[in-house]
Amino acid sequence: MSDRKPVGEDTVDARQVNAQKTDGVVQVDAGVDHVDAKPRSDVFQYNMNYRSVGQCVVINNKNFHRKTGMGVRNGTDQDAKNVMETFSKLGFKVKISNDQTVSQMKDLLMKVSKEDHSQSAMFVCVLLSHGDDGKIFGTDDCIELKRLFELFRGDRCTSLVGKPKLFFIQACRGSDLDSGIEADGESDGETTRIPVEADFLYAYSTAPGYYSWRNVAHGSWFITSLCEMLSKYGKQLEIMQIMTRTNHKVALDFESSSNLPGFGGMKQIPCIVSMLTKELYFHK
């Protein structure tokens, strides 16, 4: 093996923000000096000192037009009830809208996105419906989820810029089944530019491509677990810790019971996609 070092020079994959070009040579600013002091802890936490925690908008779709081919979502009213009770106790102003068409869903969320959220710490949306990969159903048709999410982007909903925007989606994301596998048991004044997609959290009830399970009497596995974990730990743990415990409960405590051939004994794992830039604690 040769000890000779590779020929060439190191470079970055993009031009640095503070780089300047002089006579064809990129000059990089040496930067500024910092003290070795511990940064303020609240720099890494979302500010909750607002007049209101915020709104929690719930779209609860149970009955669907025949043309969609979708059946009645029995048990979803229990989900809506659990969400109402859980988020109300956390201080949210909860509003439930039942059996919304695609147009009504868009109009509802567009109206909310245009409201003044300047006195709110955050925003929550819970979607309870049928779905497919990247899509969710209104009572009459389906729509891409991103069409709903983008209404709250930083360049469209300015009063929520820099604030958490949480979306909880109880819906199928495909038709795959998870049969599970055996495992060993456990023994300040400055302005700054931020990405328009920042500060979102998308909590899906299941992994991409998979069915999402719902008990017709007690509600869906995901919403049931989410509400239980929020009720137990919402005033003490950070949101990602809560979501990890939600994943744990869904993954270990539930297994499908179905009369349909091949649908019994199935498992499920939620999927959390975070673009949050700080830690989120619901308590002030």
Dihedral sign of CA atoms 93, 96, 102, 108 in order? negative
Active-site residue flag, 34: no
Alpha carbon distance 197, 188 (integer Å): 22
Alpha carbon distance 150, 156 (integer Å): 8
Q: Which of 15, 111, 267 has the alpha carbon at shortest distance from 125?
A: 111
- 125, 142, 157, 172: the catalytic one is 172
- 130, 142, 157, 227: the catalytic one is 130
Indicate the burial class of 127 (C-beta count within 10 angstroms; 0-12, 13-18, 19 or more). buried
Alpha carbon distance 11, 230 (integer Å): 46
Amino acid symbol at 25: V
Active-site residue flag, 125: no
Q: What positions carry a catalytic annotation? A: 130, 172
